[in-house]
Amino acid sequence: MDAGTAAILGAAVGGLFGAGGTLGAAFLTGRFQGRSQHGQWWREGRRAAYSNFIAAVTSFREAADALEMADDQGRDEIELSELLKTVHDRWPAVRSTAPVVAVEGPQKVADLAAKIERHVEGFAIHSDLDAEERAHGQSDGGRTFLCEAHNALVDISRDLHAFAVGARETLDRADTTGQ
């Protein structure tokens, strides 16, 4: 083999290795970028689910606090009835956002959302029962149902804080797709 043929053969082999290396690098770059984009998409979905749930619970909690404060101040039944209606108007938002959190996960965060949803329901039910007792003049003086409603508010606050911490930890992980 003469020097010219060896040079041509060397250039061809070198070109094949170079092209193969370039294609391999492009493949790996695309694969890693795809994983990164998928992880970002997953985090954005979770962030939206968590944020919507927190906003719905906070809105409910604000309405519930207003009802509780008005009752403590001895406001009239008409005003209390309007505030109770506001509480009930905000309840569906909590019920509709909790299942989205359950789908997005992880289980720890989904369980906290379900627990908060039960507390919200407990507040609404006990507030209704208290209003019904007062409307029929059957209040027990100790306001048992209102005490239960207050306890539900305390539970909502405690568990909402734990939910926010769990959600933040989940979103802070580099890869949240497998959680």
Q: Which of 17-21, 23-27, 37-41, 163-167 has the lowest mean pLDDT?
A: 23-27
72-115, pLDDT tens digit by residue? Answer: 898 888 888 899 899 999 999 999 999 999 999 899 999 999 99
- Listed by start position, the domains of the chain span 3-172
Whether the CB-CB separation of 128 and 84 falls below 8 Å is answered with yes
Q: How far apart are alpha carbons 3 and 36 in whole angstroms? A: 49
52-66, pLDDT tens digit by residue? Answer: 999 999 999 999 999
According to CATH, the superfamily of the domain at 3-172 is Alpha-catenin/vinculin-like (1.20.120.230)
* pLDDT value at 68 more than 60: yes
DSSP classification of residue 67: H
* pLDDT value at 146 more than 70: yes
Start-to-end CA distance of the chain, whole Å, equals: 61
pTM: 0.74
- The structure tokens 């083999």 sit at 1
